[in-house]
Chains A and B, each alone.
Chain A
Amino acid sequence: MNQPKEIALRDVTQTFRGGALSAIGGELVAVDRVSFTLSSDPSRITSLVGESGSGKSTIARIILGLQRPTGGTVTYNGKDIFCLEGRDYDTYRRDVQPVFQDPYGIFNPFYRVDRIFWRPIEKFGLATGKARGLRLIEESFEAVDLRPADVLGRYPHQLSGGQRQRVMLARVHMLRPAFIIADEPVSMLDAAIRVMFLNVQLDFREKYGMTTLFITHDLSTAYYLGGETMVISQGRIVERGRAEDVITRPAHPYTQQLIASVPEPDPDARWTDRIEVSEQTAEVKSASRDRCLFAERCPHVKERCWKTRPAMMDVRTGHVAACYLYGAASHEESRDAAVTH
């Protein structure tokens, strides 16, 4: 793993059109010009936090090459991942591996669970011969606190949710990819197994130097993992920085409201103020998208917020937020500036 590997997203956009949506007149913009970079050196856990429908899962599918975005590019070491051929495609698949959300859907019910391991071993040539392959699998089982006897030779419906998700982790451990794209892997697990899962995720970074993009809607999980945190809302990255900064000293009004709504597991720290959330029904939001999308609900809304989309402004070193409270540059100006220098 000598020279650093990098996945770079530039202005990635995904709009859904057609079918029912054309009946609603227009399209749904799921991801709206998102740019960020994941680097394998230094290996780091980046959590992408957002509500359901904010586009975070769509970004995961785009990075994994499962869905071609309608705009912008995703490059791996400079080359567009949707135009990779031959060796480049192989290395990309080898270095970027997923961990999915639904433990019940990740196994093909027709085959035994072992196939999850033998397919990549054959495809990526991890081990020649059955014996060496088996040793590789047992080694990975140790790392995720699973006994091979409980799992190997069984069918998916014979395993519990927790066991299944740990099998996925064992698979990732065996492959040792440079990047793990984990799409809400813990949201369907109980507290006890969830913590164990997160600890293994931390080990992957410390021991094996794997960089993880961890997608979740749960702020406490993001905080527990540390590393870097990005907050996404309605398809746009609104805030980005070290986990401690973003979660304990949130800059963007949206993040502040999000943090305030997380219930404290402490009876003495109950909420005292009441919140009034104006509920938009599902009908079309007609206003144009070239503005700050949080303007309707933002306590500090200004004239400029309605005019143009804010760029990412510096709040403190390594902590940026897309809000005019911290600067005046609009998204367009900053993008042109970025292109020139």
Chain B
Amino acid sequence: MPGLRVWLAKHLYVAYAIRRTLLFFVTLWGALTVTFMFFRMMPGDPIQAYVASLEQVGVYNVQANQEVIAHYRRVFGLDGNLFQQYLFYLNQLFIERDLGPALINFPTSAQVGILRALPWTIGLLGLSAVFAFALGIVLGAIVGWLRGRWYAEWLTNVSIALSHVPFYFVGLMIVFLLAYKLSWFPSSAAYNPVHDPGFDLNFFASVIHHGTLPALSIVLIGVMNWLISTRMLIVPTLGEDYLTYGEAKGLSPRRILTTYALRNVYLPQVTAFGISLGGIFNGNVLVEQLFNYPGLGSLLVQAIQIYDFNTVQGIVAMTIIVVLLANLIIDLCLPLLDPRVKFWR
């Protein structure tokens, strides 16, 4: 065992990677358990609610066939005590990777719908979040560097004012302005049904055309958010000793801003980006619902309205896995941004 420790001491990055991966699994297990408990402790019983909604539609005479309910209960893994359900839940997720029948298009299992919707969400959410992050960092650095000039202060104050306005507020305004009044962009669906999904150019063109508005509502606010936080980080860095030293070396202002100031800001911001993904998904649900964009968000809202227990639980689990994976990837890339990371995390 001590030999391994000494070997690890030599290969710091490997030791760091192992530590972060272990933490990834612990957090993943913890988050999934929290959601499992959450669903089980909710007031009201999903099956009763589902059957009640069917009853309103006049499809079932509930009192007559209790075994129908028992059957549903078994299918949805809600029979047996809590611990058996928990094992069933984990087995479903990791071993069989089959989330059980979804009610949306019964009897296909839930993960089919989820996996079909996932690329849209990753595409819309992922791309616009990363774009907003990059643009926000650059603008934040410039505003921090040029603080005092009127346009820099003006942009900062606008960002302060709007940076926490929720995505769907902006979404509503954009729909009203660009789609309704000026109708430059379509305000719903992911692509024009005329083109069938495939790898041809105009399909992509229509996807981009349809995706602009929802992406814009995420990017607009995201940029302002990252602008404020970057400026807040870069202004004190401008006072650091190594920056004065860079100036004393007579380096060009552009080089000082990029290699001295900005590179020291990447680390905290990239870590914050990882953590913010969870929050961005929340806003995304509403944006997709507003633009009825076929991502996980709108699938979730549909599933809720018909009490589709498996799909909802599947979507939440999928989001957790995606967000945590993204965080793990970011953690593993951190040492490239800042070599000190291997030591103190």
Contact = CB atoms under 8 A, between A and B. Distances in A.
B343 A284 contact: no
Most chain B beta-carbon contacts within 10 A, residue among A22, A23, A284, A286: A23
A26 interface: yes
A22 to B, nearest CB: 8
A20 B12 CA distance: 10
Contacts of B12: 23-24
A299 interface: no
Interface in B7-48: 7-9, 12, 15-16, 19
A25 B8 contact: yes
A337 B9 CA distance: 38
A26 B15 CA distance: 13
Contacts of A26: 5-6, 9
Contacts of B9: 23-26, 284
A20 B344 contact: yes
A205 B9 CA distance: 49
Nearest to B3: A25
Contacts of A22: 5
Contacts of A20: 343-345
Interface string A18-31: 01101111100000
A130 to B, nearest CB: 43
Contact of B342 (A23, A25, A284, A286): A23
Nearest to A19: B344
B344 A25 contact: no
- Give the interface SS of chain A, mostly helix, strand, loop or mixed: loop
B10 to A, nearest CB: 8
Nearest to B6: A25
Contacts, number: 27
A251 B6 CA distance: 36
A261 B171 CA distance: 70
B16 A23 contact: yes
Contacts of A23: 8-9, 12, 15-16, 19, 342-343
Interface in B96-128: none
Contacts of A286: 6
A23 B16 CA distance: 7
Most chain B beta-carbon contacts within 10 A, residue among A19, A20, A25, A26: A25
B193 to A, nearest CB: 55
A286 B3 CA distance: 12
A20 B19 CA distance: 11
Nearest to B5: A25
Contacts of B16: 23
A20 to B, nearest CB: 4
Nearest to B15: A23
A25 B345 CA distance: 15
Contacts of B8: 23, 25
A20 B344 CA distance: 5
Interface in A280-301: 284, 286
Interface in A87-113: none
A19 B345 CA distance: 7
Interface string B122-143: 0000000000000000000000
Nearest to B14: A23
Contacts of B7: 25
Nearest to B12: A23
A133 B8 CA distance: 59
Interface of A: 19-20, 22-26, 284, 286
Given A24-B343, A25-B7, A25-B8, 9 more contacts: A20-B343, A22-B5, A23-B8, A23-B9, A23-B12, A23-B342, A24-B12, A25-B5, A284-B6
24 contacts: A19-B344, A20-B344, A20-B345, A22-B5, A23-B8, A23-B9, A23-B12, A23-B15, A23-B16, A23-B19, A23-B342, A23-B343, A24-B9, A24-B343, A25-B5, A25-B6, A25-B7, A25-B8, A25-B9, A26-B5, A26-B6, A26-B9, A284-B9, A286-B6
The 9 closest A-B pairs by CB, nearest first: A25-B9, A25-B5, A20-B343, A20-B344, A23-B15, A25-B6, A24-B9, A284-B9, A25-B8
